[in-house]
A and B are shown apart, each in its own frame.
Chain A
Amino acid sequence: MHVPARELRQEYLRHDKKFPHVWCPGCGNGIVMGSLLRAISSLKLSKDEVVMASGIGCSGRMPTYLDFNTLHTTHGRALTFATGIKLANPTLTVMAIMGDGDATAIGGNHFIHAARRNLNLTAVIINNSIYGMTGGQYSPTTPFGARSTTSVYGHVEHAFSISELAVTAGASFVARSTVYHADLMDKLLEKAITKRGFAVVEVISNCHVQYGRRNRLGDAVEMITSYRDNAVTVRKAAAMTEEELEGKITIGVLADREMPVSTEEYARIRKQAQEKKK
């Protein structure tokens, strides 16, 4: 059911407290935030049961603006705090909002272990290929050859593919979207939030200010339009060669599997221990 943006804003934003926000005009973060609110609204989650944790960076500011139980943690550690919250109160719907540097550089170890551990958590990673807030340094997803303030001669390292990393690390659900594909993102986020187990949604987003500008990728509109032009669905990508996929963004569901969820398994162990005690 379509809920007008005005109503979503009224319902979910801390509009009287924390605006204007810190994001640059045209930033993709707002599109992801809107999509999350549509997903939460359509799932009819109570605001009291939603916990939104973030790390540090532009993405880290998102929970500040939203009327949930919100937590702005240390750099890279959002998933560790989220793990403690979920284990302490499994009835809560716990999400972690991270950036690419946050989730896969400083928080890379936590990310792969959260995927392996398979707690009932949702991780949303906004991947804009750069450290935006600190002024445009290269991140683990900055492409080979790209320019940043710490790779002015061209980047000599290779980029992580975040979703593929999550699939290999064992996440129950992995999906990718771009900020252009907002309708798809809404659906993927809904699926991720309701998925039993660790769910990852990677969103390719534009940082035209720190990344696009230095790599001649144009303004926000041009960058977002390029996502439309370069995206291929998972199904279409399956029929393409590696060369054909060069420079393309595979979007859709990359993994969706049923596995034992550690929170549920632990509840079973608890029950056994308590029966034994009696």
Chain B
Amino acid sequence: MEIELLEIRNFLAECMPFSLLSDEQLDLLPEQFQVRYLRRNSAFPPADNKDKFLYIVRSGAIEIRDNEDNLVNRLAEQDHFSDCEHFEQDEQRGFAIEDTLLYQLPCKNVRQLRDQSDDFDRHFSDTLSKRLKDAVRRFRKTVDTGMAHMAVEVSNLVKKKPLCLPADTSIQQVAQAMSEKDASSIMLLENEELVGILTDRDIRRKCVANAMDVNSPASTIMTANPFTIEHNSLALNALIEMTKRHVHHLPVTQNGRVIGMLSATDLAQHSSSNPAFIISDIRTAQNIDELVSASRKIPDLQVQLITASVSALHIGDIVSRITDAITTRLIEMAMEQNGPAPVDFVWVAGGSQARREQTSHSDQDNALIISDEMQPEHDSWFEKLAAFVTDGLNACGFVYCPGNAMASNPEWRQPLKKWKQYFNNWINKPEPKALMLSSIFFDLRSVYGSTTLLQELQNETLEQSRKASIFLAYMAANALTHKPPLGFFRRFVLINDGEHNEAFDIKHRGIVPITDIARQLALSEGIPATNTTERLLAVGRTKALSDEMSENLLDALAFIAELRICHQARQIRRGLATDNYLSPNKLSELDRKHLKDAFGVIQEMQNILEHRYQTGRLG
């Protein structure tokens, strides 16, 4: 059958929500449309349209404004605007900003299509929160089985130099050798040929439990002729063989010769994609160079975790824990050099590390809270500590804080009483500029030392902050400084003032606003959590935030964080430096749509804060 308006059909097939229809439905679509022409500056929807329609821009552009004349959206080619679902149809009006050719579909036809197609219907009926949840879930699905990390050859996982002894060695001698080498298994040879393996479990179950003579040869309790695996087999196959054969150890061979032993633990450590490895390397590092080389693995780890479908928020947690480990190891090294601390102290992380939301190569924010017993002469010890640790973190890729919010800055290396003063000033005599800088310190978490020092500070601060209405208003104003984009217009990002850019900063226009909102709400409710997700969950149980808004903000954060970390993973894979600049050109139609939903949630919450605290009056 010839489709007369094939070109129009094909155009519509590219446009949401019609792209959700089947081919057969698309074939019947063009004839249901009407075509209108709007001259630049004429009203949209067209003034003489008596019925209601769903509109698609075929060429040209339309601007939508709310009843207070705020820019809400701009529509370009392929964008749609539906008047069919609006209850208060007068709320959003617009006009053509270019000469525009419009396709319009009567609402009754839209309703028919909704009856005919579930996907099409869902586009209209799904709530914002459902759409956001689906969007987050979709990310998890696209990374296939989550077993990508198993596609590595076993030779990469085996520890070198296998522990081997002749098969006639006594059980006791074998056990001694295993203890010395800290090995859980041993290979037994006869004439240089592998004849069996012996594990901790064999010794326990077959020898000790049966009160067997420990001087018997090991061959009496070994697993003879064990199954072996070739060095170039995939880790996944090794896992399958172990599971099938109920064994925890597989000798690895190369050209018929044994080159090592692969244990279930090796596989497990690899499959959790090595944060445990990296952290163990960090713990045993003897000097800065070893720490640096361990921390170099973080970007790759981040990519592996994404491939293994670990969520962005969990990755933030893992990277923060690694930074904690590096910090701790640096403090230990400093103490090895400079001797023990003269008085109690706690090393605290600020900013993203405190919130457990770091990505590889965030900058460092930290401070030292020292016991009030501190004497002036003690500062040189803490100064040396701070210099050593901040330099070390910088060497490990966590660059110096550009705002100098670090323990190496004497201002942020103070006894508890001084910190109490700081917070007292911030809370009771708030100044917008100082607050903006100090917002780092409203996210603090102990990394090393006497956690009670920080607890005491936080107890006092939270008690004060929840009652300090002016302070809370300033924090609310602070949470409004970073506005999300309105949406997308052609290949540009549409900003509130009508400006558009080719790329946008997903951190400052997506993540920071949510982080700031969560901080303000947590402080207003006296909630001690620092992690944004935990804060939003906790505040969601109070009157400060509705359940629905709490969920929507959480989903928006999860989605935006996911987009950001995937963007950075692509850069790491290509060997580029990571940044936060996303170009709408590179986003799928669906991601653009979900991102717009997420921006909408942030905007709504910012409006709520603006009204609640009348931030406009702060000047």
Bind each other? no
Chain A residues at the B interface, C-beta cutoff of 8 Å: none
